[in-house]
């Protein structure tokens, strides 16, 4: 069985500061890992994915994520947060069949 855990319900960060949203996963075999974002009253949007290759993956809107196989983690990062980054972020894993999502982490960026 595959699963995803997002240990933080909410992350607060000041604008201009770096942000990290945490994610750990469990899957047999090589995982496909994803981050999606959901802005208020809008649908889920793809941010980035890890399939293979470099452990640091770059995605949309300046976000990046670091794949760590030994820690089974895939944390989302951004060097400098913007107020407009405030949204609900979901980590997801696909073990070759279906895509399973985490419960989500709400990011608040204060001006």
Partner 1 sequence: DTGVSQNPRHKITKRGQNVTFRCDPISEHNRLYWYRQTLGQGPEFLTYFQNEAQLEKSRLLSDRFSAERPKGSFSTLEIQRTEQGDSAMYLCASSLAPGDEKLFFGSGTQLSVL
Query: What is the chain's length?
Result: 111
Nearest distance, CB of residue 54 and partner 1, angstroms: 18
Among all chains, which residue has been given the structure tokens 């649908």?
43
| Helix, strand counts (H, E) of the chain | 0, 12
Report, in Å, the least distance between residue 16 CB and partner 1. Answer: 27
CB 104 within 8 A of CB 23: no
Residues between 66 and 105 with contacts to partner 1, criterion CB under 8 A? 88, 90, 92, 94, 96-104
Least distance between partner 1 and beta carbon 88 (Å): 7
Smallest separation, CB 80 to partner 1 (Å):
26
The two tokens of residue 75 are 């944390």
CA atoms within 13 A on the CB side of 36: 16
Tally the C-alpha atoms within 13 A of residue 99's C-alpha that lie toward its C-beta.
11
Which residue among 66, 77, 106, 108 contacts partner 1 (CB under 8 A)?
106
Contact residue for partner 1 among 22, 26, 49, 72 (CB under 8 A): 49
- What residues numbered 13-42 form the site for partner 1, per CB under 8 A? 32, 34, 36, 42
**What tokens appear for 76 in the block?**
């989302």
Interface contacts to partner 1, rule CB under 8 A? 6, 32, 34, 36, 42-46, 49, 88, 90, 92, 94, 96-104, 106
């Amino acid at each position: 069985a595959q699963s995803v855990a997002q240990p933080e319900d909410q992350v607060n960060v000041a604008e201009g500061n770096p942000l990290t949203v945490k994610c750990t996963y469990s899957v047999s075999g090589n995982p496909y890992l994803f981050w999606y974002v959901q802005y208020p009253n809008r649908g889920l949007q793809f941010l980035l994915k890890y399939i293979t290759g470099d452990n640091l993956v770059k995605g949309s809107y300046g976000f990046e994520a670091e794949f760590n196989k030994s820690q089974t983690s895939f944390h989302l990062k951004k060097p400098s947060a913007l107020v407009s980054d405030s949204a609900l972020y979901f980590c997801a894993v696909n073990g070759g069949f279906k895509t399973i999502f985490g419960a989500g982490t709400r990011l608040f960026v204060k001006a």
